[in-house]
Chains A and B, each alone.
Chain A
Amino acid sequence: MRLRRVLSSLTMRSALTALMLLSALPALAQEPSSTDAQPSPRPGVALPPDFDFSRFRRENQAFPDTGVASGQQSAEGPGTPEFTWLRGRYENYPGGRGRRGGWWDTDFPDAEQNFMRGVQRYTFIDAQTYNTRWIDLTDPELFEHIFLYMTMKRVPIGGMSSGPNFSADEVAALREFALRGGFVMLDDFWGEAHYQDFLIEIAKIFPDRELVRLDLDHEIFGIFYDIDQVAQVPGRAVTWDYGSVTLDDPRYPPSVHAILDDAGRVMVVASFNSDMGDGWEHTFHEYYPTSMSNEAYRLGINYLIYAYTH
């Protein structure tokens, strides 16, 4: 039954991709090469519905790859803190790493930088606000870190065009990263179609491992903060559109799924029907529900502490 669903969504996805390809041709011609220096330039096409001006401003500044911005120096001395927030950049559907094919840089870098500010404040993890970066999954430097964040975002809801389409190299790197002890956090995919798509991608990485749904009694929900509900952190254009927020939209019941290693430790965690990235990104947005930002921080910090202890 499930297989049939996956197959049907595959064909649907292919059709949608073809359409998308046709309509995006002029834009693709202008898309810069995917190996550009950070930060990722904004593609010169019509602004997406979630365009953020503050972000536009920031991405014209030098990206603090390493080193410490003034005023952010840790009390623990000079040098780069041990923790660097990594956001994975991956092969998109139907191809390329730019925006129109996929959404790997959604909320980048506000989400992580806000979140890092929280991590610095609430935990003893050696982190800094601007010590965030994106990384190609095939970059060997991936293995110098233990935590990888990736958004599984696809547009639109219910559609299967766009989104990650991990290449063989990326799959191998992700699998090896997780097996050596790295922790992968996946975020921001909504609805059945996205879920099916997610299953396809995850099955590429771990064809022999079962995806398990984590219940609230799992250690990850109590390791730092006691989390008593998996929140549906609102995502823009899903349950939040700048004016109104639909909390606990019954169409998108949130859940957390994981791939475990042989010792039962979580290697990959995925927040389904929840957009933790938005929760972090919009911490200071007046219309965004603070409680939901809080939930995103709390769960995010729990993931981090879990990654550091398992």
Chain B
Amino acid sequence: MSFFLDASTMEAIRNGQFSFAYGPHPLLAALLFMALPVVVWLLYRKTTRPLTPRWKALLVTLRSLIAMVLLFMLLRPVITTWQVNPQETYLAVLVDDSQSMQIPDLAGQQRRRDVIADELYADNGILAPLSQRYQVRTFAFNSQARRISGADELTAAGNASRLDQALRQVREQLGGLPLSAVVLISDGADNAGADPLTSAREFGAEQVPIFTVGVGQTQIPQDIAITEVSAASTILDNTLFDVQVNLAQRGFAGRSVRLRVMDGETEVASQTVLLGPDGSSRRYELEISPERREPILYELQVDEFDEEIILQNNRYQFLVDNSERPPLNILYVDGHPRNEFKFIRRAAEGDESLRLASYLQTGPGRFYRQGINTSTELSDGFPETAEDLYQYQAIVMGDIDRDFFSDEQLTLLQDFVAERGGGLLVAGMLDDTFADTVLGDILPVTPVRSEVLPTFLQGGIRRGNHATGELFVPRLTSAGEFAALLRLDSDDAVNRRLWGEMPALQGVYVTGRPKPGASVLLEHPILQYQNQAVPVLATQRYGSGRSMALTTASTWRWQMLMPSDDDSHQRIWRQSLRWLAQDAPERVTIDFDRAFYNQGDRVNVSATVLDAGYEPDNNASLYLQRTDPLGDVSDVAMSWDISEDGVYRSQFTADSEGIYRVLVDVASAAGTGIETEKQAAFVVTPSLREYNNAGLDSGMLGRIAEASGGRYYSLPQIQQLVDDIEHSPGAYSMEVQEDLWDKPWLLALLIALMSLDWMARRYRGLS
């Protein structure tokens, strides 16, 4: 029992839980208190020795106070409070044991975990007093909660903090037991995705308050953190990857640091970057060109400073899947041998990520096929069935007659773009007879019949004495300047210079206005039609695919009129062809629900299967073969997700760090021609989520406490918690009346007053 009133008593008094056990009517009590000084004053009217008024007032006051204290004690003041019977109920103490508890951001650079261990288990730790009243059950939690019995079991090793999961588990484990309250000690940095407030409210509904204790600093004062890394292959080259890095920092504004990409012990790329202002996050870009055709695990590293509090987030592992991929299949049909055909072929041939299957009409009744996979491919000309045509991801049409296509083939071409999601490029001049066909729909520009053009725009793309046959230097529009398919260099200034050095083209095919959704990338510098510059290169989305129109047949000049070691022509064509083809869906695609996983995470893998007509296929049977980082192989069945057409799912837990490869085997019920296997990889990396955004989230902890009827404390206030818990209303606490008359301070006050009174009377010589 403390000498003065406990904080909880004061609180109870403040809350109006104070009363007199033998309390008469409050008016009467007030009257009695008021009557006492009057009575004393009457008794002091006559004294054995004369007194000055001052002395009399003093003596009357002292005696009145004594009488009032006595009266107060006799009325038996009580506060109404709650108590549990000792050892009859349970108290759950949940301690965050995730990696963020290793962060040394507490006073004296102490680790969070160490301070918590002290506060719990040291001599004056809170567990001892709590144990006197409760059956204390202590849990450590990260992604799961577990019982612990001592400080040494706090390892701060878990790579996730799941408050919600921890609360649920405690409820399950202590279900049926009389649980009085829960103490939750954490930094509040929850990263589970599930809202812990739901659980908190459930506890609140059962009158089990959660008392939360926040650990750590709200903001880590000195830290450089790699918060995100993503790598995607560039459009120029499938074997070249752009690595995007997000770097957050506090305390190192304006310092320059070195970013390094490591493949094992080998540095494969590096860059020195300047850090932004404190608290900011900046994006940086590096380029890597993996040497092995397989999934490769890289580690991004950033310089470590001595003052940094968290070093773990200065490294970040990421996966680059540089596996061999089947080339993109592109069908190129051209009506006659021409320079453009030759050089588009040459550009594509040097790129192993592209297969250009071409069908060239060389002479009457004669055609020449190149790049074909089988002797029958394209042997009957332009494919007539969806199954044959849809094996390509993009189609290039050269200078070809309308007669080359049947009406059905043109419709198929439209479906190819709109339904199958393929790309279509018309390169060169379109025959007038195409003007009223579906091509007019698909293309980003509207073909017009030449006779409706003004005279000065007539004459076609051949060289001669007409404006449309002249040499011209195409103008790069602002959309074109930043379009990936026309990029000659990633640096804007260099790109602009290189475009300025490109030789002139010759001859433009005049079309109508670009469609509303089209982007014009190149336009004629002089010629205008319908008050707009004549488009030279334009693109647009069409249905689920995309289309492109190139209205000149002279890009070959970029090859023949530039030095042989210049690759501008190849680069533009490869990028354009890849752009056309790369977003066309594949028959089988594998997706993971996350970009990377941490140890112990649940991996949700889904496979989307399309049939030969590129419709979702719900009748396939899929098997997933998984190879873990240690080389162990296991089979997992995939089952159709009844709510999504063509989607098959499976899930498993990733137990070890490293690269997992999966191989999905598809046997289509429809049978023919299906890609039977598809490979993919994902990575399980050391987790950084406990180190990024690892500042104390007192708001979250406060809300949990509030939702459950408990209270939030910062770590230094933890001692107060012991007393508060006991006096908080709970499901198992009883309402008790606590006497205040026997408080030591009250007795001390009485004795002090009586002594003063006695001494005063003696001094004045009263009897």
Contacts and interface: CB of A to CB of B under 8 A. Distances in A.
Contact of B464 (A78, A126, A179, A224): A78
A224 B368 CA distance: 8
Contacts of A66: 463
Contacts of A143: 560-561
A126 B342 contact: no
Interface stretch (B52-60, B319-327, B358-366): B358-366
Contacts of A82: 338-339, 462, 553
B459 A125 contact: no
Given A124-B361, A308-B338, A146 B560 contact: yes
A180 B559 contact: yes
B767 interface: no
A224 B560 contact: no
A179 B567 CA distance: 12
A181 B337 contact: no
A221 to B, nearest CB: 14
Contact of A76 (B345, B350, B462): B462
Interface in B325-367: 335-339, 341-343, 345-346, 349-350, 360-364, 366
Contacts of B563: 176, 180
Interface string A287-310: 000000000000000001101111
A161 B338 CA distance: 39
B133 interface: no
B363 A224 contact: yes
A17 to B, nearest CB: 33
B460 interface: yes
A38 B345 CA distance: 35
A144 B346 contact: no
B542 to A, nearest CB: 29
A123 interface: yes
A80 B342 contact: no
B230 interface: no
B336 A126 contact: yes
B564 interface: yes
B397 to A, nearest CB: 15
Contacts of B350: 263
Interface in A164-215: 176, 179-182
Given A143-B560, A308-B338, A309-B368, A77 B462 contact: yes
Interface string A258-272: 000001010000000
Contact of A310 (B342, B561, B562): B342
Nearest to B507: A79
B368 A181 contact: no
A310 B345 contact: yes
Contacts of B335: 124
B462 A78 contact: yes
Contacts of A180: 559-560, 562-564
A227 to B, nearest CB: 14
Contacts of B562: 180
B541 interface: no
Contact of B460 (A79, A146, A181, A308): A79
Contacts of A308: 337-339, 341-342
A78 B464 CA distance: 7
Interface string A56-90: 00000000001100000000111111100000000
Given A122-B364, A224-B363, A309-B341, A181 B463 contact: no
A223 interface: yes
Contacts of A182: 560
B235 to A, nearest CB: 23
Nearest to A122: B363
A181 B343 contact: yes
A123 B466 contact: no
Contacts of B464: 67, 78-80
A137 to B, nearest CB: 15
B469 interface: yes
A123 B560 contact: no
A309 B559 CA distance: 15
Nearest to A223: B368
Contact of A79 (B346, B469, B556): B469
Interface in B521-570: 553, 556-557, 559-564
Contacts of B459: 77-79
B560 A125 contact: no
B463 A80 contact: yes
A146 B560 CA distance: 8
A143 B562 CA distance: 9
A67 B459 CA distance: 14
B653 interface: no
Interface string A14-44: 0000000000000000000000000000000
Given A82-B462, A124-B363, A263-B349, A305 B560 contact: no
A126 B362 contact: no
B: interface residue count bin: 35 or more
B561 A144 contact: yes
User: How would you classify the secondary structure of chain A's contact residues: helix, strand, loop or mixed?
Assistant: loop
B345 A123 contact: no
Contact of B342 (A67, A146, A176): A146
B466 A79 contact: yes
Interface string B444-468: 0000000000000001101111100
Task: Find the residue from A123, A176, A305, A308 having the highest chain B CB count within 10 A.
Answer: A308
Name, among A77, A80, A307, A310, the residue most crowded by chain B CB atoms within 10 Å (CB to CB).
A77
A309 B342 contact: yes
Contacts of A146: 339, 342, 556, 560
B256 interface: no
Contacts of B345: 309-310
Interface string A89-106: 000000000000000000
Contacts of A307: 342
B370 interface: yes
Interface string B426-437: 000000000000
B336 A309 contact: no
Nearest to B459: A78
Contact of B337 (A67, A76, A77, A305): A305
B368 A305 contact: yes
Contact of B564 (A76, A126, A179, A310): A179
A223 to B, nearest CB: 6
Nearest to A80: B463
Nearest to B503: A143
Most buried by A among B335, B339, B366, B553: B339
A209 B363 CA distance: 33
Contacts of B343: 181
Contacts of B337: 123-125, 304-305, 308-309
B366 A79 contact: no
Given A126-B338, A144-B561, A77 B366 contact: no
Interface in B368-411: 368, 370
A79 B462 contact: yes
Contacts of A265: 346
B560 A124 contact: no
Nearest to A180: B564
B559 A123 contact: no
A224 B366 contact: yes
Interface string B90-111: 0000000000000000000000
Contacts of B336: 123-126
A224 B342 contact: no
A75 to B, nearest CB: 11
Given A143-B560, A144-B560, 14 more contacts: A67-B464, A76-B462, A77-B459, A78-B464, A79-B463, A80-B464, A82-B462, A122-B363, A123-B366, A125-B336, A144-B557, A224-B368, A309-B360, A310-B342
The 8 closest A-B pairs by CB, nearest first: A79-B462, A79-B464, A124-B336, A308-B337, A179-B564, A123-B363, A77-B460, A80-B463
Interface of B: 335-339, 341-343, 345-346, 349-350, 360-364, 366, 368, 370, 459-460, 462-466, 469, 553, 556-557, 559-564
5 contacts: A79-B464, A145-B560, A180-B563, A263-B349, A308-B341
